[in-house]
């Protein structure tokens, strides 16, 4: 199984794993691409990708980016198997972009690409769902029971 990578820019850094057993391939931005709003920016990677048939790619932040005040703007980016454009990294910054241009100059990977199996279930509308112990308890429901006897 292979993730195909097309180099769009001679400065592109091919995604790699730091260790053979790593789940994700480190992805490095090589250029500033576009400002979306005052804190949201797109960084270009200089590559396009094609996952194997039946797979897609999740773009997730590397844990180390928190040290730099950066967040992936959409939490997890999904790259569908039919997208062939440049892989862009959407980031949110807590300071001005100028303070973070060193990411590009230092060629530091800030996200990982993780290959995922594609499932496309059919949607079926039903009148009822089965009952569970949790029921309709949502956001924080489990935490509210911690410490109770």
Look at residue 17 in the predicted model and tell me its pLDDT.
94
Q: What is the total count of domains within the chain?
A: 1
Better-predicted residue by pLDDT, 136 or 130: 130
Establish if 143 belongs to a structural domain: no
Any domain includes 139: no
Question: Residue 55 CB: number of other CB atoms within 10 A?
Answer: 14
- Cα 76 to chain centroid distance, Å, stands at 4
What's the pLDDT tens digit per position in 9-22?
999 999 999 899 99
Residue 128 in domain: no
Average confidence (pLDDT) over 72-91: 91
Range of the domain at 110: 4-121
Q: Would you tell me how many other CB atoms lie within 10 Å of the CB of residue 61?
A: 18
**Residue 127 resides in a domain:** no
Is the model's pLDDT at 88 over the cut of 90? yes
Would you say 84 and 48 are in contact if contact means Cβ atoms under 8 Å apart?
yes
pTM over 0.85, yes/no: no
Judge whether 8 lies within some domain.
yes
Instruction: Please report whether residue 149 resides in a domain.
Output: no
- The first and second tokens of residue 140, run together, are 């924080």
Residue with structure tokens 């994700």?
A: 24
Query: What are the residue ranges of helices labelled H in the chain?
Result: 101-106
The CATH number of whichever domain residue 41 belongs to comes to 2.70.40.10
Say if 22 falls within a structural domain: yes
């Amino acid at each position: 199984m292979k993730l195909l990578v097309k180099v769009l820019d001679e400065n592109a850094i091919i995604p790699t794993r730091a260790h053979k057993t790593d789940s994700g391939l480190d992805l490095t931005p090589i250029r500033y691409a576009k400002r979306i709003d005052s804190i949201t920016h797109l960084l270009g990677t200089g590559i396009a990708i094609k996952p194997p048939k039946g797979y897609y790619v999740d773009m997730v932040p590397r844990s180390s980016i928190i040290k730099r005040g950066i967040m992936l703007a959409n939490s997890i980016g999904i790259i569908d198997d039919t997208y062939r454009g440049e892989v862009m990294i959407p980031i949110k910054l807590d300071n001005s972009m100028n303070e973070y241009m060193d990411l590009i100059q230092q060629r530091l990977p800030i996200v990982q690409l993780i290959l995922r199996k594609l499932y496309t279930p059919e949607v079926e509308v039903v009148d009822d769902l089965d009952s569970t112990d949790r029921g309709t308890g949502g956001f924080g429901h489990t935490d509210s029971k911690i410490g109770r006897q």
